[in-house]
Every structure is written in structure tokens, then in C-alpha cells.
Structure 1
């Protein structure tokens, strides 16, 4: 007599063989070694096949309507609206609330996706115009034009102040505003590129040419009384690091 690997009830086999089975969920499994139980895997496979078959049936039903994706979307929207009105008429407030919550959640997700895309586009436009313009004006080499935009992009920070988008150029730490020749003592794209010239002179035409002579007495901007006293962005940055950005903003132009 051949014994089945799995049975639904012990009564389905002779009493003499029942001790050979053990409980396995709602059924009983034959206690043997060296035989892998693939029932769970087969069950998952059957479930997947059924889900796929059901999906194919649904797709065929949609295709049989002979309508475009847009027309089907309109039909679904009309059906949703009809269900909402029916729920209102029946006084099913929980269903109405659930529909509204789902709708709001989708609208929020769509808006967040649009905002992310808009900010990415905004950043790309800034890098593609302002940064590139400043690099070109500073005489960046072909290699500099290729390498520096992405590197300098990390120094550009966007914030929202009073409902408006504000662009700020930061120091290398990415947190402290960079001082410069712009409004309120903030840095401009030209200031950012001037720093790049000092840091990577090989990426700019003629930047490696340097003359002799002693350093000016106010090296590091130590004796600066106004913003125009700084001889280089390096001196300006050193002064701000020592005295603070607020003190720099208080200096006259």
C-alpha cells in the first residue's frame, strides 16, 4: 500500500499507519526524512498563477470595451462620484470620509512629486546658467567647465522665506553663508567661482601666472574697515571666520 505524503484527515488511512503522520496546519504530513516538502512553494506558485490569470481576465474585459486609457479613467471617475453620492444619500459618512482621505492622499503625493520635479528643474536651470556664466567669465578651461558645475552645485542652497524661494551660496561646510560682494554682504556666483580659481587654478586659463612682491599689510583682511578693503575671497572668508557673518554684514560697502 502506498502512503500519501499529506492527508486531510487521519481517518483516511489505516489505523496502523496513523502514528506515521504528524499534524501540519489543518492537515497531516507523513514523517519521513530526505524528502523536501514543496507544498508551500507550490501553493505560492498556484496563487501567483491565479492572480495573473485574474489580472489577464480583467485586462481583456477592459480591452473589450474598445475605449482608450483616458476614457476608462473618466468612467472610473464617474463611478467613484456615483458611489460618493450614493453613500451621501445612504448616510454612510465613514465611506465618504474614506473616499475623501484617499483622494487627498493621492493629491498630496502628486503635489509632492510635482514640487520635487520643479525644484530639481530649478536647480538644473541655475547650474546651467548662472554657474556656467560665472565660470566662462572667469576663463574656465574645457576641463573646468566639465568638472566644476557639479562640484559647486553642493554650495548652492535653496530656502523658502516669507513664501519666496531664496538662493544662498554657502561656505564649504554647507551650513554657513558665504560672505561676498552681493546684497547684504552675501556671496554671488562670481564670488563662488573666484574661490574655485584660488583652489583649482589649473582649471582656469592664466590662473597659474603669479607675480612676486610682498603680501599686503592687511593679509587676511585684518585691517579691513569696509567690504571693498578685502583683496581676495580668501581674505574675506578668513575675516568672516574670525569675526562672524553678522559683523561682516555690518561693514559699509
Structure 2
């Protein structure tokens, strides 16, 4: 039973890594899968366990993108530090209070994101917005704090929110936004992993094989995104946002 359970989780984790590397949203697959498959464990333990495969996939995606996309290092490094601290805080709060209210809030935001992206045909296809260095710094640091906390506290959709922020606030195209999102997502996942390790809330027997599967999916997904370019990523982004909206809506209806 443990073998088939692990195999099932690995298949979901591979899919999550593939999707997450392209546009984010892997948590839409991986988190519900582990919650459904292992209902006998506490929710914080299961969410903590998913952070190890998420970290491995984020690191692989970040590495693949950094080989082909120019990274704005002087701004992204401080953003990663801020996101790391915020994610740690979010994970701490998760172990103290329920996070059920996050799903309706995230659903409203995602619907707005979907409509906005769908109606703006050039959104994310080109780098067409000039933002001063001072504004880039402030916006990226603020985004790192907010999205970092969200990732540690709830998680699903973090990569998509980061991509959206980099496009709407910084002016990146989809490819460049995905590359920077992977770096920030890696730092938030690392913070959560370290926190849950310190709390002893990880199931390593599932986390390690899932990490290998997620990493493999991320490798393929990132290579495909780089090969196909912005238009492919935009379509994938809309698909993932729509799927996330449907998933959250279903959860709220059934609950």
C-alpha cells in the first residue's frame, strides 16, 4: 500500500513540477493530492511535506531559466531574502491558526486576474513598461513580503501570483517573469522546509521520492517554456488560472 501511495503521489508531483516550472500553480495539483491521499496526518505536516518537492522543482526551474534569461540580480536577491523571512512567518502562523479563509479570498483575486489577462491581448507578450530602478526595488520587495507570507501560510497559486506581479508591476514579459518567479519561489519554499524541519513536521518517506519526481517535471516544463516562448506561456497561464478557479470553487461548494 505504501508503494502505490508513494507512486501515486510521485505522479502528481511530476505533473506539479512540470506545470509550476512553466507558469506556477503546481500546488493546485500537489497539495490536494497529498491531503486526499494521506488524510490520517495533520494538515501542517502534509503541507510541510510538499515543500521539499516544491523546493527541488523551483531550484531546477530557476537553474534552467537562469541559463537563458537575464536575471536582475541587484533587485531579486533582496526580494528573495524578504520572501524567505515572510514565508517562514507564514509557516509559523499556519501552525497556530486555520487558513480556511484564504481560499475564498484567493478565488476572488484569481477571477480578477483571469479577466484582466484575457482582455489584454499583449499582457506579458512583450516588455513594454518602463519602471524606474527605485520603483522596481520597492515593488519587488513589497511583492516578496506579501507573496512570501502567502506561500508559507497557504501556498497554491504562489508561482502564478509572482508571475502576474512581475508582469503587471515590473513590466517583464512572461518568460522573464517566470524566470524571476522561480528564484523567489525557491526562497519561500526553502524557508518553509527549514521551518517544518525544525518543527519535525515532515514525512520524508514520501517527500524524497516526490522531490525527485517534481524536479524531473520541472526540468521538462522549463525547457518547454523556454523553447515555446511567451505566447505559449500566456495560454498556459490562462489555463492554470482557470483550473485553479474551478478547483477552489468546487472546494467551497462541497464544503
TM-score range, shorter chain: under 0.3
**Which one has the bigger helix percentage?**
2
When Rg is computed on C-alpha atoms for both structures, the one with the higher figure is: 1
Higher relative contact order (CA 8 A, sep 6+): 2
**Which one has the bigger strand percentage?**
1
